[in-house]
Structure 1
Amino acid sequence: MKHFEAKIQNQTFYLLPEKVIFWKEQKALILSDLHIGKASHFRKAGVPISSHIHVNEFFVLDAIIEELKPEKILFVGDLFHSEHNQEWDLFYNWAHNYEHIELILIKGNHDILPESLYQNSRLQVMDQLLIDNIEFTHERNENPEGYNISGHLHPGVSMVGSGKQSLKLPCFLFREDHAFLPAFGHFTGIAKIKPSKKDNIFVVAENEIIHVS
């Protein structure tokens, strides 16, 4: 599987073009901002968005799990978009296909479902998680206990071609004491960032990761 290897706190992280990270030492998949149920949310507002967009995202996760065989999956917030709807059942059924994998949700601002629904879907729910001096929060922690990895931002950058055409692409953003994950969900939007010279940007371009320093 194509990836870019990054070292943080002497730990090995594989950045994948599927917009997830595989933490080698912990055998953990890390991803953020799936926003499951957003398609249904828009359908209620009269926008005809198919739930197949979420089904395809589960297919992507299935392929990654088959390849890398993680022991745990960390969802770094905004797993579900808003109130309960039929698309939560997609996640429930998917989660119970992987009884051997530990599922952990670091709660985001959109994770407002009743605790019972999370528990029935095998999720351990917490506000933050610290493992081996790596701290996970949905929104950036300004005073982290370790290196902070968060989501929420949906970071992206504009790449300019030789003909001056531009394309906004999602990215991983790494800084000295924290990193932002791209949104895994395809129906989430991208927030264009203004990187500094010290930032390390890993752009997701189709089936590869491009390092821009």
Structure 2
Amino acid sequence: MKPYQPITLAGAELWLLADKAIYYPEHRALLIADVHFGKAAAYRKLGQPVPHGTTQSNLERLDRLLAAYPCEWIIFLGDFLHAPESHAATTLSALHQWRSTHPTLRMTLIRGNHDRRAGDPPVSLGIEVVTEPLLLGPYALQHEPDAHNTHHVLAGHVHPVYRLQGRGRQNLRLACFWIGKKVSLLPAFGGFTGGFAIERSPDGRVYVVGDGAVWEVNEL
């Protein structure tokens, strides 16, 4: 299987990527939802024993996407930083180092609920920050999955996952894209974000990601 699944949605082509992002070829843009940079640092500050290195891992994944697809613009669909504690020196240092390797890349953040609590990223990161929706082609790019009057919504916030049933009690819980009639959901990009289980329905298509591939559930 290929590491992406091209679909036509609202009259435009999108590529659903196995690394839990969308590539919009017409605008040479990557759409990324719910990175939650600094989430692990915020939990450690509360005394929780959570893993180190999640920020660096997420940045390395972004670098792989930028190497694989011709990209001029990254649009973050909310929840760039997780909490006020995400402004920790180690987290911001890693972000500044990464940004310095992509000085000409346009970056835009559509504020999500965690961004409003955490505060905007430092101006020195060169990230344009806007409120939702950001209209691009036939799409309203948002954090919250609220329908738009004129555009098809691409949103984050929900962190959708789908449970694939195997034999007996065996099952897999995989991140997924949910493609609806008026609103579609991206999986959370961050590697330490959890997920909300969704079900198949006549109103939407489910594309799961796993083992470096993307496939539609009803094709199983």
Normalized against structure 2, the TM-score is what? 0.91
Is 1:183–2:188 an aligned residue pair? yes
How far apart are 1:109 and its partner, in Å?
0.4
User: 2 CA distance for matches of 1:178 and 1:134?
Assistant: 10
The one-letter code of the counterpart of 1:162 is R
Range with bigger deviation, 144-153 or 190-199: 190-199
How far apart are 1:114 and its partner, in Å?
4.3
Structure 1 outlier segments of 4+, above 3 Å: 112-115
How far apart are 1:27 and its partner, in Å?
0.3
The one-letter code of the counterpart of 1:40 is A
Seen in structure 2, the aligned counterparts of structure 1 residues 167 and 192 have a Cα distance that, compared at 3 Å, is same
Seen in structure 2, the aligned counterparts of structure 1 residues 68 and 143 have a Cα distance that, compared at 3 Å, is closer
User: 2 CA distance for matches of 1:105 and 1:33?
Assistant: 11
How far apart are 1:12 and its partner, in Å?
1.3
SS in 1 for 2:40: helix
Q: How far does the alpha carbon of each residue in 1:109-143 deviate from its partner, in whole angstroms, 9 at most, with x for none?
A: 0113444x442211111112001121111001233
Q: Which residue number corresponds to residue 156 of structure 2?
A: 151
How far apart are 1:145 and its partner, in Å?
3.2
How far apart are 1:66 and its partner, in Å?
1.1
- For structure 1, the residue ranges without an aligned partner over 5 or more in a row are none
On the 8 A contact 2:140/2:148 being kept in 1, the answer is: no
Please give the root-mean-square deviation of Cα atoms over the aligned residues, in Å: 1.5
Q: Which residue number corresponds to residue 134 of structure 1?
A: 139
User: 2 CA distance for matches of 1:106 and 1:130?
Assistant: 11
Normalized against structure 1, the TM-score is what? 0.93
Is 1:16–2:17 an aligned residue pair? yes
SS in 2 for 1:125: strand
Q: How many residues align?
A: 212
How far apart are 1:19 and its partner, in Å?
0.3
- For structure 2, the residue ranges without an aligned partner over 5 or more in a row are none
Q: Which residue number corresponds to residue 58 of structure 1?
A: 59
